[in-house]
Amino acid sequence: MKALVFGAAGMLGADLVAVWSRSEKVVPCTRDDCDIGDGERVRGLLRAEKPDIVLLLAAATDVDRCQNDHDYAFGTNSVGAEIVAQACRRAGCPLVYISSIAVFSGEKDSPYNEFDIPAPANVYGLSKYHGEEAVRTFCPDHWIVRTGWLFGGGARDVKFVAKLLRKTAVNSEIRVVRDCVGSPTYTVDFARGLLQLVSRFHNGTYHLVNSGMPASRYELGRETLKIAGYSTDMILPCLSSEIDSAAPRPRMEAALSAKLGGPRNRLLLPDWKDSLAGYVRGTLSELVRC
């Protein structure tokens, strides 16, 4: 299978390209190669490469910036997705759109499944939801795959786990939110699972996250420091209302799949704590150095 990957230089993209390249032919595409807002370039690339599948990972992922800069948010996450979806349909090529559990309000008391109804709590979530809708409308041959709080990427990791480890070198106390929960998910597990998903499951919308109990950032942070061999005393719980951020964060961002758990065709990712342990132990020096 020849896969064209938009967003190949991002945190998920780098690991996904590495994982898929072991068995598939992968054409990695960065923003420098092709901005997904540029319809001519996107269509030209599909004509030239003739992929069997397109993976759309490229996204505006700075949640606080999205809240105040709507061109940034919707330009890529919604309009860019529409451009890629139309180009895929025209080329007769299936499309995988990576989306987020942030499309839900966060008001539910238990993890979201694929049959819950989206109602985004912030602009990032809304822009991803519009991206999903564009894909449903313009490219019927699609998989929309929502995931949770990603960690991975080693030196490219600029998200929570890496930031926390880097902060421990300079801070004696780190306050971390305890009243919002999510499903921590390792990029490498996600990439492996995604390959199985598109090989074994029909088109549609799916949730793909690591298994294990939902966790708050505080719990994820404590687990990270414990694995790294650092004291967990420096990490202090706080409420999301105490953190000054532009975008409101949903209280519940944990997910499960009601569609990938069938007895005969089960797709289950490892427990996030096991994957976190492997990731942090394997890349600690890289993570702390960056």
Ligand X SMILES: NC(=O)c1ccc[n+]([C@@H]2O[C@H](COP(=O)([O-])OP(=O)(O)OC[C@H]3O[C@@H](n4cnc5c(N)ncnc54)[C@H](OP(=O)(O)O)[C@@H]3O)[C@@H](O)[C@H]2O)c1
* Residues carrying an active site annotation: 124
Q: Please report whether residue 39 would count as binding ligand X according to CB under 6 A.
A: no
Of residues 248, 217, 271, 285, the one with CA closest to residue 125: 248
Tell me which of 4, 11, 103, 247 binds ligand X, using CB under 6 A.
11
Of residues 125, 123, 119, 124, the one with CA closest to residue 107: 119
Q: Please report whether residue 98 would count as binding ligand X according to CB under 6 A.
A: yes
Q: Which is nearer to ligand X, 5 or 225 (CB)?
A: 5
Output Rg (C-alpha) for the chain, integer angstroms.
18
State the Cα angle at 227 between 225 and 268, rounded to 5°: 115
Q: Please report whether residue 43 would count as binding ligand X according to CB under 6 A.
A: no
Q: 123, 66 in Cβ contact below 8 A?
A: yes
State the Cα angle at 145 between 204 and 30, rounded to 5°: 125
Binding mask 152-191 for ligand X (x = CB under 6 A): -------x--------------------------------
C-alpha–C-alpha distance, residues 152 and 146, integer Å: 17
Cβ-proximal residue to ligand X, closest one: 10
Of residues 61, 42, 207, 55, the one with CA closest to residue 127: 61
DSSP string of 116-146, one letter each residue: SPP--SSHHHHHHHHHHHHHHHH-SSEEEEE
Site for ligand X in 66-85 (CB under 6 A): 76, 80
Site for ligand X in 254-273 (CB under 6 A): none
Q: Please report whether residue 12 would count as binding ligand X according to CB under 6 A.
A: yes
Q: Please report whether residue 27 would count as binding ligand X according to CB under 6 A.
A: no
Q: Which is nearer to ligand X, 167 or 234 (CB)?
A: 167
Q: Which is nearer to ligand X, 185 or 234 (CB)?
A: 185
Tell me which of 59, 83, 188, 252 binds ligand X, using CB under 6 A.
59
Q: Which residues bind ligand X (CB under 6 A)?
A: 6-7, 9-13, 31, 35-37, 57-61, 76, 80, 98, 100, 128, 147, 149-150, 159
